[in-house]
């Protein structure tokens, strides 16, 4: 083994450049690990394609050396469309769906030379915080197989944490990159809304969804972001801004600690975030209290907005043009109702109905419009805070990885809103469209703890710079799950 | 006069003639094999996103300016949700609260011929749905999504049309306008303009509106007229028999000539409109306005005024010529070519229109070009050919093509105006018809016409009839005294 | 959240559930409504709804045909097609 199970992209690039390994050898090693893994983190493994692409990468490396992501094995969350490779969104509805096109992110990463090994498991249609809402079964947390990896990007997070791939793509609507990254002890970045194209990314909530990278280090996140971001004429909401610069993150920054984020937090987790703040102080930054007064309303507003958008985004799954279709429908209504009821899992149905409710006559103003007003207030809280601080430091999750079944019973008898509380620290930045990342900052009871950094819109450079400086000072990101 | 009056408002879906769809780069041509013009976006495959077509926006602005409506500086797209197999996303992208055009008006005439200004409520952009084909596919319905995503401008009038005839005139005026503006091909039989009508009746003179019904998908002038007439009478019958009109959506069954309630599932009592999060607010800039304004041609009403005021046409002729923008364009070109608008109008409304009708030709493809028609008129006016010769020459031009002056020369059609030549013919006629000559001399002036005819015949139709008449009269008066 | 409302929502969303699933769903939705009702205590008087996190403006695409349609490929995933048409149970207008 030439680059180590937990090698970073940077390590692998070095190994490829020094010819101590090849792209094909790397692909085989990682494919073997995936095959041996019992985490259930992959829905589809595309071995033949991967090996063929890897051999082509080796020829290119031989010709012109390694650059970009050439030869780097990665995995895509199964929410990104991949031409010719089934894209399921972990739903029975799309269990057999083979897209005729690639998502823009998939195209960009392939153009950068990355080798896709397969598609990772997730909560169905990216709805969930435990990866237990998957048609293909739950994913296990590599640190403790009885626990969840978080969600919805649980497959990507578990795969990176277990060293099955050095990096994976993921999406974050209300915390789906940051929460599983925290629970699996890896680094994950949710870019500014609009930084990464949504084209070909199966929609959950269009005004919130944002693709981003998961990796072992902030340094790798930066490299991945460089090859994922950019204006896309196929996505009207894609921001026409230049690439993220490669700065150092700056010195003497003012780091805001939001007062409202401490409540509900396990004291041991709170301590790790506090220690992280101390590390930043040690690096010459300044800690400052800030207030984000509408935080308490963020979760409710988020569930209304996300569900409303989802309820219509998922109307296209009707059993007519693709996707699951019920056997011998009696009439058109029967075709729709049974195809959809059979094709969608319980959580997806809950969100569709919640969203339908929030948009229906008589409830629209009280729910949907109200939520969008609160959304403005939540965003304004951040804009006000960023008038006095450069970044915000917060916990990523209210707890470490929880037991499978603890918040979600297979018979759906548990209160679904308890799971929704998993996202209390991540949804405010989502509503505001801000860039935020989660990196490991401690360990409680043998399980990783993540901290969240939130920056102003398009402030990824500073965000990554600060995370990189933290990872130079600490080794939480180098810890690996027990074998 | 009936004790009831009807109140009608029309919502006309105008298909904008862009090359590509409103939110995708798929083509919009009519009549392609099923589902060959529906790309991933039109099919609503997972993960695809809409991007707005600039030309659809420009056309909406052009329309708004032409009807003197207010162009919104900012407008927005909403999702309108309902399940129907020809609606692939399960929602239609439309504009609810913030349409691109508000207000405006279209001028028509009432049944009495008075001018009437019909106010428009709004015009908004939206995407068309696909088509459900109900031919039997083993008891199933086939779905063709080629039309899905074609840009529509929905033009909504205020409910102030008073009769099916007025509604028809409004629909025709709109038809002429959008074709003049070049934003719609106006092919009703291809569904390029589809009309929904809101109808209610009330006691004559009342100012309250009665309960209304909506008749969907009236796709021809004739069906609009017949459906409205039927529905108005149906409502009157209901009211006169003591019943009340129920608010409902109807379809017009042309075969039975009746309206009946619609059962389809695209009717929902709750469309759950909300701003489409895949699209951002559309901002109409000053430069977009200026560019659109620069492309607006002379509008039908202004054209009609110009034909009367500047060209001296009658109002009837002006109206006739401006109903169809292609006819007007042909007229403009011919009138300019010959400098005689009245003569051009007469020709176009007479021989040209008759030939167009007979041959079912398009005004854009009349075989006799406007410049040739102008030349023909010129040759009549300068006395080179007679009117009669011109008519047969027109037929030659239509059937075989050619150039007016060349044909006049090669076929020896030039009118004879030379006095000596005509005088010789006149002499012959006088000599050959002594009885008639005598009658003219004794005061029967009407017989002069016979002699002129004889002279024309003798000249092979080429003599200038005016000259013939003058010389005949002169000869008879000198001979007799 | 009564039975009628659940029926209406199911109809609008084109979903159908077994009786037991429906009961559970009703309980779930009650909890969710409780959660989202916490918004009602917030003062949002005079606050404009925020539809989008960035104050962007729609970009416009030039009117060009950029897509070529490979119908066979698009219909590979289709449950039922005939003569290029997608088939559904008979629709009555």
Chain C residues with CB under 8 Å of A299 CB are 35
Question: How many Å from the N-terminal Cα to the C-terminal Cα in chain C?
Answer: 33
Segment B87-140, tens digit of pLDDT = 999 999 999 999 999 999 999 988 887 889 999 999 999 999 999 988 767 789
Distance CA B189, CA B186 (A): 9
Catalytic residues of A: 77, 152, 176
- pLDDT (tens digit per residue) in B29-41: 999 999 999 999 9
Task: Compute the average pLDDT of residues B142-148.
Answer: 97
Cβ–Cβ below 8 Å for A199 and B52? no
Which residues in C lie closer than 8 A to residue B149 (C-beta atoms)? none
Pick B277's closest partner by Cβ from A207, A356, A361.
A207
Lowest-confidence range among A150-164, A260-274, B376-390, B403-417? B403-417
Q: What is the mean pLDDT of residues B221-230?
A: 95
- Give the separation between CA B122 and CA A156, rounded to whole angstroms: 49
Given this model, what pLDDT does residue B481 score?
39
Contact C59 B137 (CB under 8 A): no
pLDDT band for position B264 (cuts 50, 70, 90): low
Residue C93, min C-alpha distance to chain B (Å): 4
Q: Which of A306, A337, A348, A359 to mutate to test the interface with B (most CBs of B within 10 A)?
A: A359
CB of B215 within 8 Å of any CB in chain C? no
Q: Is B143 in contact with A359 (Cβ distance < 8 A)?
A: no
Predicted confidence (pLDDT) at residue B480 exceeds the cutoff of 50? no
CA dihedral A29, A34, A35, A41 (to 10 degrees): 180
C-beta separation of A141 from A401 below 8 A = yes
Indicate the average pLDDT of chain B: 91
ipTM of predicted complex: 0.97
Interface of A with B in 162-201 (CB under 8 A): 198-201
pTM of the prediction?
Answer: 0.91
Q: What is the reported pLDDT for A1?
A: 43
Query: Which of C10, C49, C63 to mutate: most B Cβ within 10 Å?
Result: C63
How close, in Å, is residue A253 to chain C by CA atoms?
25
User: Counting beta carbons within 10 angstroms of the beta carbon of residue B271, is it exposed (0 to 12), middle (13 to 18) or buried (19 or more)?
Assistant: buried
- 3 state DSSP class of B202: strand
C-beta atoms of A320 and B85 within 8 A: yes
C6 three-class SS: helix
Query: Which of A203, A318, A359 is nearest residue B47 as measured by Cβ atoms?
Result: A203
> Which among B51, B79, B88 has the least Cβ separation from residue A321?
B88
CB contact under 8 A, A311 and C90: no
C20's CB contacts (< 8 A; 6+ apart) are none
> What is the spatial distance between Cα B404 and Cα B415, in angstroms, rounded to a whole number?
14
Å from B89 to nearest chain A CA?
4
Give me the residue label for tokens 């109702």.
A337
Residue B69 pLDDT: 98
Which tens digit of pLDDT belongs to each residue from C12-45? 999 999 888 898 999 999 999 999 999 999 999 9
A192, A254, A257, A290, A459 from A388: Cα distances, Å: 20, 8, 12, 8, 15
Q: Do A353 and C9 touch (CB under 8 A)?
A: yes
- Both tokens assigned to B208: 């309250």
What percentage of chain B carries pLDDT values higher than 70? 98
pLDDT of residue A35: 98
CB nearest to C69's CB, from B26, B144, B263: B26
**C75 touching B, CB under 8 A?**
yes
C58–B281: do the CB atoms touch at under 8 Å? yes
Query: How many residue pairs from chains A and C have C-beta atoms closer than 8 A?
Result: 178
Q: Do C31 and A417 touch (CB under 8 A)?
A: yes
Partner residue facing C65 (CB), from B19, B40, B81: B19
The band of C93, judged by pLDDT with boundaries at 50, 70 and 90, is low
- Can you tell me which residue has the tokens 């006395």? B383
Chain B interface, best mutation among A77, A321, A370, A375, by max B CB count within 10 A: A321
* Contact call for B50 and A236, based on CB within 8 A: yes
Contacts of C33 in chain A (CB under 8 A): 357
Query: Looking at the partner chain, which of A205, A236, A308 has a beta carbon nearest the beta carbon of B279?
Result: A236
Which positions of chain A have pLDDT values less than 70?
1-2, 248-249
Q: B280–C60: do the CB atoms touch at under 8 Å?
A: no
Mutant choice from B22, B23, B44, B49 vs A, greatest count of A C-beta within 10 A:
B49
Question: Is a pLDDT exceeding 70 seen at residue B339?
Answer: yes
Q: What was the pLDDT predicted at B478?
A: 64
Q: Is the confidence at residue B213, as pLDDT, over 50?
A: yes
DSSP track, B315-342: HHHHHHHHSSHHHHHHHHHHHHHHS-HH
Does position B412 have pLDDT exceeding 80, yes or no? no
Q: Do A349 and C15 touch (CB under 8 A)?
A: yes
Assess whether pLDDT exceeds 50 at residue B268: yes
């Amino acid at each position: 083994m030439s680059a180590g199970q937990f090698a970073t992209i940077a390590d692998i690039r070095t190994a490829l450049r020094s010819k101590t390994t090849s792209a094909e050898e790397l692909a085989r090693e990682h494919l073997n690990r995936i095959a041996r893994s019992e985490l259930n983190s992959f829905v589809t493994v595309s071995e033949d394609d991967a090996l063929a692409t890897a051999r082509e990468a080796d020829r290119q490396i031989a010709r012109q050396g390694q650059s970009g992501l050439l030869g780097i094995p990665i995995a895509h969350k199964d929410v990104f469309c991949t031409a010719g490779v089934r894209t399921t969104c972990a739903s029975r509805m799309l269990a057999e769906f083979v897209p005729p096109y690639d998502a823009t992110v998939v195209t960009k990463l392939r153009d950068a030379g990355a080798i896709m090994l397969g598609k990772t498991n997730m909560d169905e249609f990216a709805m969930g915080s435990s990866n237990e809402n998957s048609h293909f079964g739950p994913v296990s947390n590599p640190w403790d197989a009885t626990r969840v990896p978080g969600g919805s990007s649980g497959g990507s997070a578990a795969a990176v944490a277990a060293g099955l791939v050095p990096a994976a793509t993921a999406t974050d609507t209300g915390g789906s990159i940051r929460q599983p990254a925290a629970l699996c002890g890896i680094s994950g970045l949710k870019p500014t809304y609009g930084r990464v194209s949504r084209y070909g990314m199966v929609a959950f909530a269009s005004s919130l969804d944002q693709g981003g990278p998961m990796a072992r280090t902030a340094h790798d996140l930066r490299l991945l972001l460089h090859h994922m971001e950019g204006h896309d004429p196929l996505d009207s909401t894609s921001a026409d801004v230049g690439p993220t610069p490669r700065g150092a993150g700056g010195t003497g920054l003012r780091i805001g600690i939001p007062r409202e984020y401490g409540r509900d937090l396990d004291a041991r987790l709170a301590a790790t975030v506090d220690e992280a703040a101390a590390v930043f102080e040690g690096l010459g930054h300044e800690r400052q209290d800030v207030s984000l007064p509408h935080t308490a309303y963020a979760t409710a507003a988020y569930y209304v907005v996300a569900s409303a958008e989802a309820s219509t985004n998922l109307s296209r799954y009707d059993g007519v043009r693709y996707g699951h279709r019920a056997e011998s429908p009696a009439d058109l209504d029967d075709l729709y109702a049974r195809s959809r009821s059979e094709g969608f899992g319980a959580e997806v149905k809950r969100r569709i109905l919640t969203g339908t409710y929030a948009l229906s006559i008589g409830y629209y103003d009280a729910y949907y419009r109200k939520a969008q007003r609160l959304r403005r207030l939540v965003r304004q809280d951040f804009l006000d805070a960023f008038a006095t601080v450069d970044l915000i430091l917060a916990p990523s999750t209210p707890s470490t990885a929880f037991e499978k079944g603890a918040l979600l019973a297979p018979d759906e008898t548990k209160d679904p809103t308890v799971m929704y509380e998993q996202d209390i620290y991540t949804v405010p930045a989502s509503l505001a469209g801000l860039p935020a990342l989660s990196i490991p900052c401690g360990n409680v009871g043998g399980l990783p703890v993540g901290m969240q950094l939130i920056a102003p819109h398009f402030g990824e450079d500073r965000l990554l710079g600060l995370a990189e400086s933290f990872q130079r000072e600490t080794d939480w990101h180098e810890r690996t799950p027990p074998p | 006069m009936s004790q009831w009056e009807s109140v009608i408002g029309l919502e006309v879906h105008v298909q904008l003639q862009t090359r590509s769809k409103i939110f995708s780069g798929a083509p919009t041509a009519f009549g392609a094999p099923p589902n060959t013009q529906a790309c991933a976006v039109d099919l609503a495959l997972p993960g695809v996103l809409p991007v707005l077509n600039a030309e659809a926006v420009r056309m909406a602005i052009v329309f708004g300016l032409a009807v003197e409506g207010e162009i919104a500086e900012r407008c927005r797209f909403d999702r309108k949700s309902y399940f129907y197999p020809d609606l692939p996303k399960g929602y239609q992208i439309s504009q609810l609260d913030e349409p691109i055009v508000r207000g405006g008006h279209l001028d028509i005439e009432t049944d009495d011929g008075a001018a009437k200004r019909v106010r428009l409520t709004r015009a908004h952009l939206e995407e068309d749905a696909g088509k459900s084909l109900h031919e039997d596919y083993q008891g199933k319905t086939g779905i063709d999504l080629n039309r899905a995503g074609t840009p529509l401008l929905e033009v909504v009038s205020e409910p102030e049309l008073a009769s099916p005839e007025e509604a028809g005139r409004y629909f025709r005026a709109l038809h002429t306008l959008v074709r003049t503006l070049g934003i719609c091909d106006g092919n009703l039989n291809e569904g390029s303009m589809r009309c929904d009508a809101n109808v209610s009746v009330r006691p004559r003179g009342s100012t309250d509106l009665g309960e209304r019904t909506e008749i969907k998908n009236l796709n021809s002038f004739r069906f609009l007229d017949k459906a409205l007439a039927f529905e108005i009478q149906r409502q009157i019958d209901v009211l006169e028999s003591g019943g009340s009109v129920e608010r409902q959506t109807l379809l017009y069954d042309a075969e039975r000539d009746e309206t009946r309630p619609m059962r389809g599932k695209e009717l929902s009592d709750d469309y759950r409109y909300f701003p489409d999060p895949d699209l951002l607010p559309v901002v109409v800039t000053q430069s977009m306005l200026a560019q659109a304004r620069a492309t607006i041609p002379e509008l039908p009403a202004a054209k009609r005024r110009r034909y009367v005021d500047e060209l001296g046409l009658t109002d009837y002729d002006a109206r006739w010529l401006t109903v169809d923008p292609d006819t007007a364009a042909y007229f403009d070109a011919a009138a300019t070519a010959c400098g005689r608008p009245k003569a051009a109008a007469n020709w176009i409304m007479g021989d040209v229109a008759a030939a167009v009708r007979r041959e079912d030709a398009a005004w854009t493809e009349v075989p006799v070009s406007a410049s040739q028609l102008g030349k023909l008129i010129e040759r009549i006016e300068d006395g080179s050919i007679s009117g009669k010769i011109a008519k047969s020459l027109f037929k030659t031009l239509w059937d075989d093509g050619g150039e007016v002056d060349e044909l006049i020369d090669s076929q020896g059609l030039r009118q004879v105006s030379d006095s000596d030549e005509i005088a010789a013919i006149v002499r012959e006629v006088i000599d050959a018809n002594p009885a008639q000559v005598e009658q003219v001399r004794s005061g029967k002036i009407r017989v002069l016409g016979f002699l002129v005819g004889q002279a024309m015949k003798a000249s092979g139709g080429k003599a200038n009839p005016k000259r013939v008449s003058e010389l005949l009269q002169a000869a008879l008066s000198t001979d007799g005294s | 959240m009564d039975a009628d409302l659940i029926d209406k929502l199911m109809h609008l969303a084109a979903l159908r559930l077994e009786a037991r699933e429906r009961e559970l769903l009703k309980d779930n939705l009650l909890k969710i409504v409780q959660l989202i009702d916490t918004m009602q205590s917030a003062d949002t008087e005079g606050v404009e709804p925020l539809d989008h996190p960035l104050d962007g403006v729609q970009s416009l695409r030039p009117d060009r045909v950029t897509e070529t349609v490979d119908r066979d490929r698009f219909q590979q995933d289709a449950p039922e097609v005939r003569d290029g048409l997608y088939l559904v149970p008979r629709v009555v207008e």
